[in-house]
């Protein structure tokens, strides 16, 4: 039954790659998706709030997709689909308004079960200051087995992944496109290493290309997986701060690296600090905060 359900879910997600809250309109009274193949397009249109023609198209695409043995196909490409029911699916993601219905993963999925994870993010145009800060802050975090999460973008993200690897730590990359379209191309080498030895994951089926709107969606997963978010450099208006907003919505800790007051890239961290983020210039600052939190949680 479970395998049959996964096949149906993967077929649906392939043709309708939406978050779980959208799929819940179908799952609420058909949790195993057993009735979907027989549903009338008019019923689908009503449930999914779409035009009849669109629902009809979706139904036909779904019936066709059911014939593809997705688990076998993905296994050949070393992709592990992690549904919202999978034992390695992180519970913290289910707290999102729009949890991913499926995560597509390459590498060591057990890293998702690591108890302590921190996101390290910043500008795509990060300067050498971000690299220096990351190399100064990460060693003590890695010594405590914290997994470093980032989005594999240019700049600070790539610096964070590379530093985690170089320092002997573990890292998870959350990407904004399917595995057939790795992005950005200049991080292809780093991506290959992460897929082979660490963990790369996305909520997008393999054929999905990187689109602008995918990246803000990806950011909610980065913050959702992490206990806290560390920002190195960012402008006041940037994608980095959208990750911070997601994190704040879910009560995560925000850490910010103070920087040069004459740099635009320090304006984002300084604004966060002014709004209550913890300024950090040593990894121990982050660890102290976590130890206090862990102590509080254990008391409760």
**Residue 297 pLDDT:** 43
Longest dimension (CA), the chain: 63
> Which stretch of DSSP H or E encloses residue 150?
strand 147-150
**pTM for the predicted model, two decimal places:** 0.93
The whole-number mean pLDDT for each consecutive block of 10 residues of the chain, a chain of 300 residues, reads: 84 97 94 95 94 96 96 96 95 95 97 94 95 97 96 96 98 97 92 97 96 89 94 89 86 94 95 95 88 50
**Residue 245 pLDDT:** 87
pLDDT attached to residue 2: 53
Domain assignments of the chain as residue spans, ordered by start? 2-76, 109-299
Q: What is the pLDDT of residue 300?
A: 40
pLDDT at 292: 66
In whole angstroms, give the CA distance from residue 36 to residue 50. Answer: 16
- The burial of 227, by beta-carbon neighbours within 10 Å (0-12 exposed, 13-18 middle, 19 or more buried), is given as buried
Strand-by-strand arrangement of the 117-121 sheet: 80-83, 102-107, 199-202, 171-174, 147-150, 117-121, 228-231, 253-256, 278-279
What integer pLDDT is reported at residue 243 of this predicted model?
A: 86
The class (CATH top level) of 109-299 is: alpha beta
pLDDT of residue 76: 96
CA–CA distance, 215 with 217 (Å, rounded to integer) = 5
The count of other CB atoms within 10 Å of the CB of residue 41 is: 18
User: DSSP 3-state assignment of 251?
Assistant: coil
Phi and psi at 276, nearest 5°, equal: 120, 0
pLDDT at 290: 74
């Amino acid at each position: 039954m479970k395998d049959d359900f996964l096949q149906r879910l993967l077929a649906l997600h392939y043709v309708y790659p939406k978050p779980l809250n959208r799929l819940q309109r179908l799952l609420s009274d058909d949790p195993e998706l057993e009735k979907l193949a027989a549903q009338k397009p008019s019923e689908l249109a009503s449930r999914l709030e779409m035009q009849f023609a669109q629902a009809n198209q979706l139904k036909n695409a779904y019936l066709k997709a059911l014939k593809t043995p997705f688990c076998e196909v993905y296994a050949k490409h070393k992709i592990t689909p992690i549904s919202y029911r999978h034992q390695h699916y992180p519970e913290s993601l289910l707290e999102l308004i729009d949890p991913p219905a499926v995560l597509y993963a390459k590498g060591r999925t057990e890293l998702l079960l690591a108890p302590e994870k921190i996101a390290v993010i910043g500008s795509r145009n990060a300067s050498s200051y971000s690299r220096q800060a990351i190399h100064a802050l990460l060693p003590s975090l890695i010594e405590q087995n914290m997994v470093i999460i980032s989005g594999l973008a240019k700049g600070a993200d790539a610096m964070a992944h590379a530093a985690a690897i170089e320092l002997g730590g573990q890292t998870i990359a959350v990407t904004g496109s399917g595995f057939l379209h790795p992005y950005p191309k200049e991080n292809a080498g780093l991506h290959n290493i992460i897929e082979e030895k660490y963990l790369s994951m996305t909520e997008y089926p393999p054929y999905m290309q990187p689109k602008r709107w995918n990246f803000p969606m990806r950011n909610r997963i980065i913050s959702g997986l992490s206990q806290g978010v560390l920002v190195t450099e960012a402008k006041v208006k940037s994608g980095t701060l959208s990750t911070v907003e997601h994190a704040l919505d879910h009560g995560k800790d925000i850490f910010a690296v103070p920087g040069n007051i004459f740099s635009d890239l320090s304006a984002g961290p300084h604004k966060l600090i002014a709004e209550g983020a913890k300024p950090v210039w040593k990894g121990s600052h982050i660890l102290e905060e976590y130890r206090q939190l862990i102590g509080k949680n254990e008391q409760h």
